[in-house]
Chains A and B, each alone.
Chain A
Amino acid sequence: MAEITLVKALNQALRDALAEDDRALVLGEDVGRLGGVFRVTDGLQDEFGTGRVFDTPLAESAIAGVSLGMALAGWHPVSEMQFDGFSYPALDQVISHIAKYRFRSRGRQPVPLVIRIPYAGGVGAAEHHSESPEAYYAHTAGLKVVVPSSPVDAYHLLRSSIADPDPVIFFEPKSRYWSKEDGELSTNGAPPIGTGRIVRPGTDCTVVSYGAMVARSLAAAARASEEQGIEVQVVDLRSLVPLDLDLLSESVRRTGRAVVVHEAPMTAGFGAEVVARIVEDCFDYLEAPVLRVTGWDIPYPPATLESHYLPSVDRVLGAIERVTGY
């Protein structure tokens, strides 16, 4: 099987979902004729028509609110927020209605919709184009939050998200859009939402990450092994909500040490949740404090400074050394 980029894998997932589910719709800004600013929806309008794949006026709150209305009418909308930093106008609809509708309706009205958000930095972009807003969504009860890190997972997770009866916020790591992988793209054996994955086995320390930072965590793990003989187990959460608590505690109980890595700022970031779960579930097994390697607590910096903001391999390695040397 040929290698495929993450963008192509997402494109294929949307194509297959549109073909197999005649209630699935793709909508957003520039998703039609242009095929999306990252080409994730490339060719879909030609193939499925303007009734199934369509551009909307430039209004994010409406994209979210109207998607909910279409879900109430029995459709399965997959809508796109063009960039992380432009998703905030839609937050009211997401928090006040999309996340609450099943609850409010006493289970009578499911909300099977997906909101795709290209997120995170490392791509040299302008202000508002590099943010990591996953904690806002993870903190909102009623939403599932999914973050793939690789092309094959991206395909599977997007298919599972579209098939899911609950609203899913689907974060696409921009800096990994052009990464390549080969593997089978079908729904056979697709992991259910809520399961993480051990992407590198190891016994000395667990590094927990998701999205764009998984590759960087793997790079740090490789160096730890090569340079110091430290064997790091890398866990890709894949889904922040639901969180794979079993995998997390199994891994940390085995290694006794953990480092959490994400791009978003540290304070009240999702890493705090992961650390708290580890402390609650694995306290007796811990050999060292659990550390976080994250973006700084500052607005996302200008692109010429972002290499000083994003967790670097050296910073991850430093944290691994601290917990293993404790």
Chain B
Amino acid sequence: MGQDLGPQRMSEEPLHRVLPLEGEPGPDPSTVGLKEEQLRDLYRLMSLTRRADLEATALQRQGELAVYPPLIGQEAAQIGSAFALEESDWIFPSYRELGAAVVRGVDLVEYLHFYRATWHGGTYDSNAHRFGYVSVPVGSQILHAVGYAMGSKMDAGGIAVLVYFGDGATSEGDFHEGCNFAAVFGSPIVFFCQNNQWAISVPLSAQTVAPIWRKAEAYGFPGVRVDGNDVLAVYQSTKEAAARARDEGVPTLIEAVTYRLGPHSTADDAGRYRSEDEVKAWRTRDPIQRYRRWLEAAGIADGPYFESVEQEAKEFAHRMRTGVIGSDPRPVAEMFEWVFADLPPHLARQREEALRMAGEDIATRGGTDG
């Protein structure tokens, strides 16, 4: 029965929304808390992300990536939240946060090494971008974020940590344990759930009965439900939550209600479990088009601006494509390079054999990343 009542109850839940859904006028730009330049930048970042995301899917179809989990439809949730953080704040992603990586200035070729199966975690420097490595086991990264938040608080503090996860992750024990630890230790963290309605083939109604944002109450901190396709609302909710984390050590659970327009990953056939009508309905709520309408109506951006962004996005995606296609597998020696700080004797033996079989010089070392 719970599965039937779930969606009905969801629709009655409060929702933070700033942008109009259709052609209504929307808010006065002076009230949203961002400069015009920043408002344009949000559009720009969403557009770069959309283009790169589509390109990544195309690269997978062409055999250049092993797999890719598209984020199309979730641009507002990712860009709005990542944009709301300070540079010194940390982000721990799951595996669908290419948009947040764009905000953090992570090189997408380095990011996509994960999906090209050239290196787990990609090859970017997590510390330089304060953007954790791609984490695949669902919800497991939540604990790393909580630990990082606890650790930073024991030092000078002053930073917030934001962790991304999906609706499916809220069923994992690590989510509950992470929320509880964060509350008990007063950790400066924002739990950012992108509720995209589907965990591969399992709909939200079969995942959980209680609305996600309400779970926060059980841990003793605020929960917020926000329109995840409304970049301004996401920005505001995250900004507020991050400040609460930094200043008061109070965690927040944000449920960003959005929709995964694409499949779970390029290996998935979403047509097997959800209707085209449902997807169509959400396509009309495209977060980028919706924001663009408001930017135009509010007189913040016009045709030439949108064209220049389109051109930049095209070049951005093209550079990414060229970089991905041009990257080779790493040397075999790298498999042994970073298992331990120093190569123990048993691994030294195995390395020697692997390099001999691969025809690589025994003196070959990996890069100087370490």
Chains A and B form a bound pair: yes
What residues of chain A have their CB less than 8 Å away from a CB belonging to chain B?
51, 56-57, 59, 61-62, 64-75, 89, 92-93, 96-97, 100-110, 141-142, 144, 164-166, 194, 241-243, 245-246
10 closest Cβ pairs, A-B complex = A69-B147, A65-B143, A107-B370, A73-B151, A242-B344, A62-B177, A104-B121, A66-B147, A106-B369, A107-B338
Interchain CA distance A180-B123 in the complex, whole Å: 50
A245 with B345, Cβ < 8 A, contacts A68-B144, A142-B340, A166-B340 known: yes
Interchain CA distance A73-B152 in the complex, whole Å: 6
Q: List 5 A-B contacts (CB under 8 A).
A: A62-B180, A96-B137, A106-B121, A142-B340, A243-B345
Query: Which B residue sits closest to A194, measured CB to CB?
Result: B344
A104 with B133, Cβ < 8 A, contacts A61-B143, A144-B340 known: yes
Q: Which residues of B contact A246 (CB under 8 A)?
A: 345
Q: Nearest chain B CB to A245's CB is how many angstroms away? A: 5
In the complex, the answer to whether A66 meets B174 with C-beta atoms within 8 Å is: no
Q: Nearest chain A CB to B370's CB is how many angstroms away? A: 3
Asked whether any CB of chain A lies closer than 8 Å to the CB of B173, the reply is yes
In the complex, the answer to whether A103 meets B338 with C-beta atoms within 8 Å is: yes
In the complex, the answer to whether B155 meets A106 with C-beta atoms within 8 Å is: no
Of B123, B146, B340, B346, which is within 8 A of A62 by CB?
A: B146
Query: Which B residue sits closest to A73, measured CB to CB?
Result: B151
Q: Nearest chain B CB to A248's CB is how many angstroms away? A: 11
In the complex, the answer to whether B140 meets A92 with C-beta atoms within 8 Å is: yes
A57 with B180, Cβ < 8 A, contacts A102-B339, A242-B344 known: yes
Which secondary structure dominates where chain B touches chain A? helix
Q: Which residues of A contact B177 (CB under 8 A)?
A: 57, 59, 61-62, 65
A72 with B344, Cβ < 8 A, contacts A93-B143, A106-B369, A107-B369 known: no
Of A59, A74, A101, which is within 8 A of B155 by CB?
A: A74
Interchain CA distance A242-B342 in the complex, whole Å: 11
Chain B 131-164 near chain A by CB (<8 Å), digits 1 or 0: 0110101001011111111111011000000000
In the complex, the answer to whether A68 meets B133 with C-beta atoms within 8 Å is: no
Q: Nearest chain B CB to A194's CB is how many angstroms away? A: 6
Q: Which residues of A contact B144 (CB under 8 A)?
A: 65-66, 68-69, 72, 97
Q: Nearest chain A CB to B171's CB is how many angstroms away? A: 14
In the complex, the answer to whether A68 meets B143 with C-beta atoms within 8 Å is: yes
Of A75, A106, A242, A245, which is within 8 A of B119 by CB?
A: A106
In the complex, the answer to whether B152 meets A110 with C-beta atoms within 8 Å is: no
Interchain CA distance A131-B113 in the complex, whole Å: 41
Interchain CA distance A274-B105 in the complex, whole Å: 49
Q: Nearest chain A CB to B141's CB is how many angstroms away? A: 8
Q: Nearest chain B CB to A301's CB is how many angstroms away? A: 29
Q: Which residues of A contact B178 (CB under 8 A)?
A: 62, 65-66
Interchain CA distance A164-B146 in the complex, whole Å: 24
Q: Which residues of B contact A97 (CB under 8 A)?
A: 135, 137, 140, 144
Interchain CA distance A206-B61 in the complex, whole Å: 59
In the complex, the answer to whether A62 meets B127 with C-beta atoms within 8 Å is: no
In the complex, the answer to whether A70 meets B150 with C-beta atoms within 8 Å is: yes
